[in-house]
Amino acid sequence: MPFVQEILKHRSLSIVGLEKNTGKTVCLNYILRRLNELGVPVGVTSIGVDGEQVDSVFATAKPEVTLYEGTRFITSEQHYMKRQTVSVLEHVDSRRTALGPLVTARVLVRGKVLLSGAATTGVLRGQIGQLCNAGCRLAIVDGALSRLSLASPTVTECMVLATGAAVSANLKQLVAKTRFLHSLICLDEVSPAMRAALSPVEQGLWGVDDEGVPHDLGIASVFLIGNAGSDLLRYGRTLFASGAVSDRLLKALTPLGKDITLVARDFTKLFITPEAYNDFTRKGNRLMMLQRSKLIAVTLNPTSPQGFLLDSRATCDALSEALQTPVYDVMKIEQ
């Protein structure tokens, strides 16, 4: 029973994919079945819309999410009406989504449901709290498309990363793309003292002096960095980007020499390419996280929506070696 015990050390879990069709739902079904066998009360919701019977982009058959007795779930009114379970309504939210208000219900007789949820991480955080308050030992958030924001450590405590042939049918490329995201997820965390000093910062780019005190550099967004040049280092060689980190910021910092430490909030705030990142680190600079996400496992879906099928064993082995992390074929663990 891979990785389920590890999940149980946490209160909330997100399942995110590098791409659509990387097997998030299969992975969720596996986790739900295992937790049911262990008798753990769980709550489930989604970011955006998921759980449809037929994939709305590629029109491929998609597995539905099966919920067991006692599981609480949050979905939209319209999807609730299509559920194939017997369940009790416990709460209806006053906010409306395109598919009606979000409802919370508890399953009486197991069956399949369509999951949808809040589109913003703020509301999602509230829902995770609501599920936990209702008695769920673990709240699971199913991802949608290739959205990563739900895996931010400020939203969910731990994550499972789904990858697969949908990312690339070329094994080398698949490994490279997965390894890059994996390396960003696993970047080092700053010291607790620095985290305490930087956490309250809400906006802009900040310079950190030798005493660890942050100073506003007067740049509201990395998109406004312009020709700031070495002026960026006037307080010290540690910088904190409270919002998004883009290639543009890395490219502005790379020529300024070595030993620059750039701190980002968490990996979901990184919008960077491997090229820009490699140039940045090759100069002796490094990227760190205010808070690191706890990656529980990487799963693989060897089939792509276009019909490619990768060799499961060879791909899992190649990925495991590259990531130094166990990688599971979701189709196989489900059996």
Partner 1 sequence: MRIKELIKGDAGFQYVVDNMELMSAAGRRKMLDTEFSTDAEWLNAEWNRMDKAIAAVRKHKYKKPYVDLRHCLMCLHDLRGTLASLANHTPLNEVELFEVKNLAQLCRTAAGAIEGFGLTEMLPLPNIDEVFSILDPDHTGIANFYIYDSYDPRLAPLRKELSALQIAGNDPERIAALLTEQNEIQGEVCVRLSDKLVPWAPTISEALEQMAYTDFLLAKAELAIAWNLTRPVLGENIEYKALINPRLKKRNESTGLRYQPVDITIGHGVTLVTGANMAGKTVLLKSIGTAQAMVQCGFHAPAEKVETMLFDGVATSIGDDQDEMNGLSSYAAEIIKISDIVKRSRTEHLLVLIDEPARTTNPTEGKAIVQAVIRLMQNASSATLITTHYGQLGGDCRRLRVRGFVEDMSDIPLNPRNINLFIDYSLTEDKSGTVPHEALRIASLLGCDKELIDRAADFLNR
Interaction site with partner 1 (CB under 8 A): 77, 80-81, 84, 86-90, 92, 94, 100-101, 103, 105-106, 108-111
Q: 95 vs 172, which CB is nearer to partner 1? A: 95
Q: Which of 50, 94, 54, 56 is nearest to 75 (CA)?
A: 50
Tell me the closest approach of the beta carbon of residue 88 to partner 1, in angstroms: 4
Query: Cα–Cα distance between 236 and 12 in angstroms, integer?
Result: 37
Q: 103 vs 232, which CB is nearer to partner 1? A: 103
Tell me the closest approach of the beta carbon of residue 71 to partner 1, in angstroms: 13
Name, in order, each residue with C-beta under 8 angstroms of 102's C-beta and a sequence gap of 6 or more: 74, 75, 76, 77, 92, 93, 95, 116, 117, 118, 127
Q: 109 vs 220, which CB is nearer to partner 1? A: 109
Spatial contact of 185 and 295, defined as CB atoms under 8 Å apart:
yes
Tell me the closest approach of the beta carbon of residue 157 to partner 1, in angstroms: 28
Name, in order, each residue with C-beta under 8 angstroms of 211's C-beta and a sequence gap of 6 or more: none
Spatial contact of 73 and 103, defined as CB atoms under 8 Å apart:
no
Q: Which of 114, 107, 7, 104 is nearest to 67 (CA)?
A: 107
Alpha helices, H only, 186-262? 192-198, 247-253
Q: 69 vs 189, which CB is nearer to partner 1? A: 69
Which 8-state DSSP code applies to residue 267? G
User: 225-230, long-range: CB within 8 Å, 24+ apart, which pairs?
Assistant: 225/249, 225/252, 228/252, 229/256, 230/256
Tell me the closest approach of the beta carbon of residue 78 to partner 1, in angstroms: 10
Q: 108 vs 314, which CB is nearer to partner 1? A: 108
Tell me the closest approach of the beta carbon of residue 48 to partner 1, in angstroms: 20
Tell me the closest approach of the beta carbon of residue 114 to partner 1, in angstroms: 14
Q: 86 vs 224, which CB is nearer to partner 1? A: 86
Q: 115 vs 194, which CB is nearer to partner 1? A: 115
Tell me the closest approach of the beta carbon of residue 36 to partner 1, in angstroms: 11
Q: Is 112 exposed, middle or buried (0-12, 13-18, 19+ CB in 10 A)?
A: middle
